Structure 1
């Protein structure tokens, strides 16, 4: 059975819904509470590659830390964006599910079902 991992924030309703969808489909994922245990730079780069997006596409732009980190400056390169997400893991969009070597952002939560 493929390993499934969810980058989860239990306080987020979308994250809880995505986790429930996985469980309803018979999948018990490994849960990584990324706010308590933030990803490393390498782990974040791998996630971005699996998602097939740019680092900026993984940002939560409405968080206070977005402006604090100067991320509204579109001239910042990918390295600066990744470093900001490491410094402020709250900026990482959630939930992210990895299943069978593929990844999806669970916004809306039903998108995680595309992996099954």
Structure 2
């Protein structure tokens, strides 16, 4: 199974998602999108495949979102793509693509819905939140 994660190693949600993918038995293709930003076309493909509006793929926290006036509803998708192109940190993460589907995995456990083997056994996030308990039951 081919799995690709658009990853930021400094993001706990992204690290948790990557851990769940690996715990499912898959070594994904890891794209550190801040080092190798996806093209505009690729961003549009990811967002479309995830079934979300581009605006929902924009990260607000710890980004130049407010300074760039991106909350303005008059900003077009082209304006938003221009901003992401200039500031890749604005692209929310992690996006994950699998043969089952594509998702913006926020929260990280969303990835379980698109893994071919979502039965990953017990899993606890870095912050201590139990996602799958010792009996293999999802807590979410």
Structure 1 length-normalised TM: 0.94
Q: Aligned pair count? A: 115
Does the Cα contact within 8 Å between 2:63 and 2:89 map onto a contact in 1?
no
1:38 has 2:49 as partner: no
CA contact (8 A) 2:5 2:29 kept: yes
Residue 32 to residue 64, structure 1, CA distance change in 2 (3 Å): closer
3-state SS of 1:85 partner: helix
Alpha-carbon shift at residue 62 of structure 1 (Å): 2.2
Deviation at 1:101, TM superposition (A): 5.8
> Which one has a larger percent helix, Structure 1 or Structure 2?
1
Higher relative contact order (CA closer than 8 Å, sequence separation 6+):
1
1:49 paired residue number: 48
Do the aligned residues in 2 keep the contact of 1:50 with 1:101 (CA within 8 Å)? Answer: no
Unaligned runs of 5+ residues in structure 2 are: 116-140
Structure 1 unaligned runs (5+)?
Answer: none
